[in-house]
Chain A
């Protein structure tokens, strides 16, 4: 590892330690809360189902096995909280990565050091993604441990395998935010612009015929739960798109004046 990369790692880890900690705490808290709230949710649903005021058509929308532990944990973790939370985390991390240097006024100092801009971006990306991946793993482990303690239920390996499509999707969102961050020097404005761009990519989610083309749908790793098959193709496609966005961000940073 070169001296420049070690110096940049030292900087990024030191600067980012609180945000990685907060991301981990948020995901661990979510991971713990899902198994813990199972009984509460079950009670609410029973009340709901017994309420004659609720139309039958609405009751029919609820899957019959919703409260079965495996379904309950998957739908609340991979199909909802995990991908939504990591998408937001990726937006926050990505939009602040370069824009943060400009808003703090440290960009001229950083980029006039003996480092290449690509390395700066690569180290920022690697450290942020490692931070996100660790937070996701800790959150899933927290869900696993809590489910064992509270319900004596051990989650399947699919829960951990599901982290891969979720991470691939979060790299895509991170790349989108990072690209915008190389052009807008205010992290808040960059974050808003990135959120708008990320929202545009969610449009296929709401069109039944296009759902399979949605990054966010693929982040849930549905096939792992339903058939136990790993979604190789979606993961590879999302990873390729994410790599293209990261390369575009590197090119954009390389071209700009500081």
Chain B
């Protein structure tokens, strides 16, 4: 599919970053549709943070280009930052600032700033207004950083490991705030995380990043649909031509148990039932399984 700038919040073409001889990002081609919640997943050192930093103008690309909200990251970084909420992985707010100070500081910077959103989010988190950042726990600092990001009412929200180090309750509140921002403002969200179950909960798209490249990118439901498998246990011998059936991509056999990788679940299931197997069931893969499958596929790539 060819994307144009009215449909896409982010378009990267060959986006590359070298640090001396080290290649951090190796020609990323990536489109993030407007209004989507995209999870960016990959191992440490895959280039996720560098890619996100290039989108906000913190890091200058070595080659390639990126357009964010229709603006060139190399030429219009200020305009991008005015319309984008960004939460860095190790976001260190000014230590002397209280939440009240932080709101005062941010209010002056963003034309679409909403005090109401800021207050509601602070209340939801139960964050005190007059405690300096230096005296806040890590969780409180992350909550304040997210409050500041959503109160900008950004068109694009870039969150780099937003929930790392948070307890389950705070993580739940965090994700609710993100989803609320999406629902209320129609914001596009890009969220990098190692918490795959969180990505699965909030994201409708997922991009797998590995060794500086986006190696797989898709609508999450479509990806799950495409990666569904059939588990079948035959009463006798399986059909000899099972691997050649239309819609069957691959067969893994373990005695009478067979796992079929298929492209057309319904048609293959119906045909399997004509062989009176003991068990036929469709297996959904979760994001974690998809993650490891993608990693394995990439490792096997010559």
Known: A104-B95, A106-B93, A106-B94. A111 touches B58 (CB 8 A): yes
Is the interface on chain A under 10, 10 to 19, 20 to 34, or 35 or more residues? 20 to 34
User: Do A112 and B88 have beta carbons less than 8 Å apart?
Assistant: yes
With both beta carbons as reference points, the residue of chain B lying nearest to A15 in the complex is identified as B96
User: Do B88 and A109 have beta carbons less than 8 Å apart?
Assistant: yes
With both beta carbons as reference points, the residue of chain B lying nearest to A14 in the complex is identified as B96
Interface centre among A6, A14, A106, A108 (most CB of B within 10 A): A108
Which of these binds chain B: A85-93, A113-121, A144-152, A222-230? A113-121
Complexed CA–CA distance, A10 and B95 (Å):
14
Mask of A92-131 contacts with B, CB within 8 angstroms, 1/0: 0000000000001110110111111000000000000000
B282 CB → nearest A CB, Å: 44
User: Do A108 and B90 have beta carbons less than 8 Å apart?
Assistant: yes
A36 CB → nearest B CB, Å: 37
User: Do A112 and B92 have beta carbons less than 8 Å apart?
Assistant: no
- B:73-115 near A, CB below 8 Å: 78, 81-82, 86, 88, 90-96, 101, 104-106, 108-110
Complexed CA–CA distance, A257 and B54 (Å):
9
Known: A114-B78, A114-B81, A258-B59. A108 touches B92 (CB 8 A): yes
* Residues in B whose Cβ lies below 8 Å from that of A11: 94, 105
With both beta carbons as reference points, the residue of chain B lying nearest to A258 in the complex is identified as B58
Complexed CA–CA distance, A116 and B104 (Å):
19
With both beta carbons as reference points, the residue of chain A lying nearest to B158 in the complex is identified as A112
With both beta carbons as reference points, the residue of chain A lying nearest to B56 in the complex is identified as A112
User: Do B92 and A106 have beta carbons less than 8 Å apart?
Assistant: yes
User: Do B53 and A116 have beta carbons less than 8 Å apart?
Assistant: no
- A:161-210 near B, CB below 8 Å: none
* Residues in A whose Cβ lies below 8 Å from that of B78: 114-116
A16 CB → nearest B CB, Å: 11
Known: A7-B108, A113-B109. A15 touches B94 (CB 8 A): yes
**Interface membership of B60, Cβ < 8 A:** yes
User: Do A4 and B108 have beta carbons less than 8 Å apart?
Assistant: yes
* Residues in B whose Cβ lies below 8 Å from that of A113: 81, 106, 109
User: Do A3 and B58 have beta carbons less than 8 Å apart?
Assistant: no
A170 CB → nearest B CB, Å: 26
* Residues in A whose Cβ lies below 8 Å from that of B108: 3-4, 6-7, 10
- A:1-19 near B, CB below 8 Å: 3-4, 6-7, 10-11, 14-15
Complexed CA–CA distance, A111 and B108 (Å):
15
* Residues in B whose Cβ lies below 8 Å from that of A115: 78, 81, 109
* Residues in B whose Cβ lies below 8 Å from that of A114: 78, 81-82, 109-110
- B94 touches which of A3, A108, A109, A255 (Cβ 8 Å): A109
* Residues in A whose Cβ lies below 8 Å from that of B106: 7, 113
User: Do A109 and B109 have beta carbons less than 8 Å apart?
Assistant: no
Complexed CA–CA distance, A14 and B82 (Å):
24
User: Do A105 and B92 have beta carbons less than 8 Å apart?
Assistant: yes
User: Do B91 and A258 have beta carbons less than 8 Å apart?
Assistant: no
* Residues in B whose Cβ lies below 8 Å from that of A108: 53, 58, 88, 90-92
User: Do B109 and A3 have beta carbons less than 8 Å apart?
Assistant: yes
Known: A106-B94, A113-B81. A257 touches B60 (CB 8 A): yes
User: Do B58 and A257 have beta carbons less than 8 Å apart?
Assistant: yes
> Lowest 7 CB-CB distances: which A-B pairs, in order?
A105-B92, A7-B108, A3-B108, A114-B82, A257-B59, A258-B58, A108-B88
18 residue pairs of the A-B complex, CB under 8 angstroms, read A4-B108, A7-B105, A7-B106, A7-B109, A10-B108, A14-B96, A15-B96, A104-B95, A108-B90, A109-B91, A109-B94, A111-B58, A112-B58, A113-B106, A113-B109, A114-B82, A114-B109, A257-B58
